[in-house]
Copies of this chain bind each other. A is one copy, B any other.
Amino acid sequence: MAKGLTKRSEDYSKWYNELVVKADLAENSAVRGCMVIKPYGYAIWEKMQAELDKKFKETGHQNAYFPLFVPKSLFEAEEKNAEGFAKECAVVTHYRLKTDPNDASKLIADPEAKLEEELIVRPTSEAIIWNTYKGWIQSYRDLPILVNQWANVVRWEMRTRLFLRTAEFLWQEGHTAHATKAEAVAETAQMNEIYANFVQDFMAIPVVQGRKTESERFAGADDTFCIEALMQDGKALQAGTSHFLGQNFAKAFDVKFTSKEGKQDHVWATSWGVSTRLMGALIMTHSDDQGLVLPPNLAPIQVVIVPIYKGEEQLAQISEVASAIVQDLRSRNITVKFDNRDTLRPGAKFAQYELQGVPLRIAIGPKDLANGQVELARRDNLTKTTVSNENLSEHIAGLLNEIQESLYSKALEYRDTHITEVDTFDEFKEVLETKGGFISAHWDGTAETEEKIKQLTKATIRCIPFEGAKIPGKCVFTGEASAERVLFAKAY
């Protein structure tokens, strides 16, 4: 167990909070609910960004940037959206500070610089973007618009946790405009699929794709698709959402286009996003009591080399071997660090890289030098082997792939053994309390039943899965007819 890190079995929530800080990923700031993302954490986020950005561009999307602020009157325009976010909006009311007349060392908001209309710090950008699209769209020739934005957003949450729920977070939000409903629905599905592939293939986190129930939909959407992941403590985490917005925003902002046939119609919309919350999913899916475990695809350092030496001469000899390995690995685009700091003992370095989830650690001591070998330690399963220096980089490249796949398989096995079909409400409650995970159960399709189950058990419907046979049955709670099973879980 890493020094001072609470065990998962003792207190999963405490383990998470400690790990985020000890592994140098993020910390709380002086601003209530806002986090500082530290360089090591940000480097992981940058890797996610780069891969997602590539996938967005490959599917024809372009980046743009829209204002941080939304005038209150625009924010109000789409009623459901406004209602959904009103309770968590940061509001700018003044545009100037002045010296406090009662204390020259203090500043106060200048009462003479009160804004005529308050500005909302964007909790999401549909309003400001659709007000802008109004000027961009006249004819079918202007469609589709396939735009994404990388930005910060603010949602004033009362209970915050690093990465999982913060007042300010980083995300990307795609906002597309289409001439037909079918095209917008296809876009919604495509982006959900891109998220699923990214999270599974790149982050090694299995997800269930599905649609949200009406009560769990994005405020202002006609349909919300999502990807749902399962954490090690049996709670679900919504990892990404893709919304079919119908013509709701086009109607609220009066965005019409002339079709090929000369007819006027409102534009169809989608929006979709993932956020720094994915960092939370990453940590909670793979990490262990020793600290962070990172899939090689996301590791800022994939391989670390630690020399074990006495005296300058031994260090020089080891450095020579290490340099050759570094060069070899870099030529394969493997990120490697040679940690020759003389301020820390090897054991302390081992502990640090274990805590920070570096996938592979190479140790080189005098005996290894003599035998033309190195010691290789895998972070994921904590095994050590001694391997020859020959073809080492090829071996390591293979091993990194193996680790990536193995992390996914392990998470998939956990997830699959934690989807439990239940047919009675007693079973429902028992599984939820003892085993956790997703509960696959019939539901009568009403918001009332959904709400009652939530009140009684804290479990919500995470999604109506796309995959699997749609076999009818009877609602686990009311016994009414049900068209198909849905997935319930307690969730982050």
Interface residues of A (CB under 8 A from B): 27, 29-31, 34-39, 42-43, 45-46, 62-72, 74-76, 79, 82, 86-99, 105-107, 109, 118-121, 128, 131-132, 135, 141, 147, 151-152, 154, 156, 168, 170, 343
Contacts and interface: CB of A to CB of B under 8 A. Distances in A.
B106 A95 contact: no
Contact of A42 (B62, B141, B152): B62
A97 B93 contact: no
Contacts of A63: 39, 42-43, 46
User: Which 4 residue pairs spanning A and B have beta carbons closest together?
Assistant: A39-B62, A34-B67, A37-B65, A86-B97
Query: How many identical subunits does the complex contain?
Result: 2
Contacts of A74: 30
Contact of A93 (B42, B65, B109, B154): B109
Given A29-B128, A90-B119, A97-B86, A168 B69 contact: yes
A405 to B, nearest CB: 29
Given A64-B39, A119-B31, A86 B96 contact: yes
A29 B106 CA distance: 33
A98 to B, nearest CB: 7
A121 B70 CA distance: 14
A89 B94 CA distance: 8
A121 B106 CA distance: 17
A244 B79 CA distance: 50
Contact of A67 (B36, B65, B71, B343): B36
A363 B29 CA distance: 57
Contacts of A97: 72, 86-87, 89, 91, 120
5 contacts: A34-B67, A68-B168, A69-B90, A86-B98, A90-B92
B34 A69 contact: yes
A147 B39 contact: yes
Contact of A105 (B34, B67, B76, B86): B76
Contacts of A68: 34, 68, 121, 152, 154, 168
Contacts of A118: 109
B62 A27 contact: no
A69 B31 contact: yes
Nearest to A132: B36
A489 to B, nearest CB: 29
B67 A168 contact: yes
A64 B36 contact: yes
A297 to B, nearest CB: 19
Contact of A29 (B38, B62, B66, B105): B66
Given A30-B128, A94-B93, A96-B86, A36 B62 contact: no
Residue among A38, A135, A151 with the highest chain B CB neighbour number at 10 A: A38
A123 to B, nearest CB: 10
A152 to B, nearest CB: 6
Nearest to A43: B62
